[in-house]
Amino acid sequence: MHDSQARRRQAVTASSPFTCVLDCRATLGECPVWSPQQQTLYFIDIKAPALCRFDPATGALRQMPMPEQIGSFALMRSGGFLAALRTGLWRLDAEGRVMEKLAANPEVHATSRFNDGRCDPHGRFFVGTIDETRTGTAGLYRFEAGRLTKLAEGLMTSNGLAFSPQGDVMYHADTPRLSVFRHAFDAATGTPGKAEVLATFASRGPDRGWPDGAAVDAEGCYWCALWQGGRIRRYAPDGELLAEYPVPARSPTMPAFGGPDLRTLYVTSARVGLTAAELESSPLSGGLFAMRVETPGLPEPEYAG
């Protein structure tokens, strides 16, 4: 038995190493982003809709209502936020107030919204859409210097965006297709290359779970939340499954590294889509969870503007 298999088996049978640090009962919590300047964690509730600020030192939560569903966001180097709302990309001030529309969602707003997004190490914002009709009309985009460029099409739910420590690999998932892909990444132009499969997932059975949001650590390993799978997985850059950690929520949505040393792994989760029986067996669903890890994460890049 390989060491990685032993670690995985042990992790699956052990009690969860995660602690619920905020029982916020988010309908669809997502996109945790650590601010090293403020030593606080921002995240969203897509369905509320709201941008949220959590102070781990005090336990205080502040919710900033959004005018429409928010799929992701990035901190801006100039201050405030770049927010991917349903109908477009908007600039928000530091208090979460909507200030300026920067780009429109080029897809049909009635059936498409912006979803998972983050900046690459050069400060370009990458964001995908979700096709609510599941007909494959979603895409992946790059936003830079006021211009939105389509990079991929034919998707259903663009997800799992992350970049390697060296900035030469981009990771991306299409959730309903149960796959995470690895792309060689041209950092000079912000262009991903041909997709190669990093990992595949199961829609049923004991290994059930759909790939959702993700983060990369300082060793280049890919941490992925399993929607409806109740687990976080850590993959080596070559796709080997290194570890698996149960989360006390049925649908964890995205991990992020935070804390002064970037060795606290935060995980958002959701309550949407769960039955009454599932909520009874997993009452902390929708909460924010955290555990300490050995390998630190990477600082989250800010949007360059």
pLDDT digits (tens, 9 = 90+) for 225-263: 999 999 999 999 999 999 999 999 999 999 999 999 999
Q: Which of 114, 107, 89 is nearest to 99 (CA)?
A: 89
Active-site residue 120, yes or no? no
Determine the Cα–Cα distance for residues 69 and 292; give it in Å rounded to an integer. 31
pLDDT, residue 11, reads 42
- Radius of gyration (Cα) for the chain, nearest Å? 18
200, two tokens: 């595949």
pLDDT, residue 7, reads 38
pLDDT, residue 212, reads 99
Residues 6+ apart with CB under 8 A from 260: 39
pLDDT, residue 2, reads 34
Task: At 118, give phi and psi (nearest 5°).
Answer: -165, 170
pLDDT, residue 305, reads 85
User: What ranges in 65-110 are assigned the alpha helix state H?
Assistant: none
Checking if the pLDDT of 208 tops 70, the result is yes
Strand, helix or coil for residue 9:
helix
CA 206 to chain centre: 23
Whole-model pTM over 0.85: yes
pLDDT mean over 198-223: 97
Percent of the chain beyond pLDDT 70?
Answer: 95
* Cβ-based burial of 1 (10 A; exposed 0-12, middle 13-18, buried ≥19): exposed
Strand, helix or coil for residue 6:
helix
Q: pLDDT band at residue 278, thresholds of 50, 70 and 90?
A: very high
Biggest CA–CA distance in the chain, Å, is 56
Whether omega for the bond prior to residue 237 falls within 30 degrees of 0, making it cis, is no
> What residues make up the domain containing 232?
3-292
Give the number of C-alpha atoms closer than 13 A to the C-alpha of residue 302, restricted to the C-beta side.
Answer: 13
pLDDT mean over 265-286: 96
pLDDT, residue 15, reads 73
Checking if the pLDDT of 167 tops 70, the result is yes
Flag whether 138 is in a domain. yes
Flag whether 231 is in a domain. yes
Taking the alpha carbons of 250, 254, 255, 260 in that order, is the dihedral positive or negative?
Answer: negative
Flag whether 176 is in a domain. yes
- Measured in residues, the chain has a length of 305
Flag whether 302 is in a domain. no
pLDDT mean over 292-298: 98
- Residues 38, 40, 42, 45, Cα dihedral to 10°: -150
Determine the Cα–Cα distance for residues 287 and 168; give it in Å rounded to an integer. 33
Which residue among the candidates 45, 120, 174, 212 is catalytic per the annotation? 212
Flag whether 299 is in a domain. no
pLDDT mean over 25-36: 99
Flag whether 297 is in a domain. no
Checking if the pLDDT of 9 tops 80, the result is no
CATH number at residue 140: 2.120.10.30
pLDDT mean over 2-15: 40
Flag whether 194 is in a domain. yes
Task: Tell me how many domains the chain contains.
Answer: 1
The CA distances from residue 304 to 79, 146, 289, in Å, are: 10, 11, 29
Residues 6+ apart with CB under 8 A from 300: 33, 34, 74, 75, 118, 119, 256
Sheet of strand 50-55: strand arrangement? 29-35, 40-45, 50-55, 60-65
Checking if the pLDDT of 8 tops 80, the result is no
In this structure, are strands 222-227 and 191-200 parallel, antiparallel, or unpaired? unpaired
The residue type at 104: A
Flag whether 303 is in a domain. no
233, two tokens: 């997985």
* In contact, 102 and 82? CB cutoff 8 Å: yes
50, two tokens: 């709201």
Checking if the pLDDT of 14 tops 60, the result is no
Task: At 277, give phi and psi (nearest 5°).
Answer: -65, -40
Q: pLDDT band at residue 5, thresholds of 50, 70 and 90?
A: very low
